[in-house]
Amino acid sequence: MPLNASLAIGTSGTLTSPLDLTTASAPVTVRAATTWQNGTGAGRADRMFSDRRQLAASATEDLDLAGVLLDAFGAAITWARIKGLYIRAADTNVNNVVVGAATSNAWSTLLGATGTITLRPGAAIGVATGAADATAYAVTAGTGDILKVANSGAGTAVSYDIVIIGASA
C-alpha cells in the first residue's frame, strides 16, 4: 500500500497602527510544509495511523508505536521512525489533553523522558521532519515506543484527533 502524505503548519497576521496621514502595516505570513513520498529514506514515509479517540475522565492511554496500532485497513503498524505527528484536542472538551510522560517505555525522542505537551480545548500541535531528514524521531521497540495521552482532569471525557506518519525502516 503506497503512502503519499504531507503536513503543513502556517500562520499569518497583520499588525496595524493608525498614523496621522496613513495606517502603517506589518503583515507576516509563515508556512512550513513537508511532503513525503512512499518509502523509508529521507523525504519518504510508508506508514500512517489516524483516529478520533476519546478518554474517560482522568483516564490515560498508551499508544504503542511498535506493532499494536492498526492502520485504516486493519494491518498492525510498526514504525522505526516518526516523520509527522498531528494531535488536536476537540473544541468541546472541558479538560485538557496531555501528551507525553509515559511511566515506562516512553517515546522520548520528541518529548524527552519527562516532557509533556498540554493541549487546551481546541488546541492543536503538528510536528514534521524536514524532507532531507532521514533520521526523524526514532521509535525503539521495548525501550522507547509508548506515546502516552491523558485526560487532565476528572468529571468529563475528552476527545482528540491524531495522525502519525512514519517509516517502517
Q: What is the CATH number of the domain that holds 122?
A: 2.60.120
Going by C-alpha positions, the residue among 80, 162, 147 that lies closest to residue 107 is 147
Residue with cell 501528551: 99
* pLDDT category of residue 113 using cuts at 50, 70 and 90: low
| H/E stretch holding 6 | strand 5-18
Instruction: Look at residue 30 and tell me if it is in a domain.
Output: no
pLDDT averaged over every residue in the chain: 92
Residue pLDDT, tens place only, 124-147? 999 998 888 888 999 988 888 999
Report the share of the chain in percent with pLDDT over 70.
Answer: 98
Q: What is the mean pLDDT of residues 52-64?
A: 96
Q: Is 51 contained in some domain?
A: yes
Distance in angstroms (rounded) separating the CA atoms of residues 142 and 109: 14
The torsion angles phi and psi of 12, rounded to 5 degrees, stand at: -150, 155
Neighbour tally for 152: CB within 10 Å: 19
Note down the domain range covering 159. Answer: 36-167
The pTM of the full predicted model, rounded to 2 decimals, is: 0.89
- Residue pLDDT, tens place only, 5-38: 999 999 999 999 999 999 999 999 999 999 999 9
Domain count for the chain, please give it: 1
Whether 148 maps to a domain, the answer reads: yes
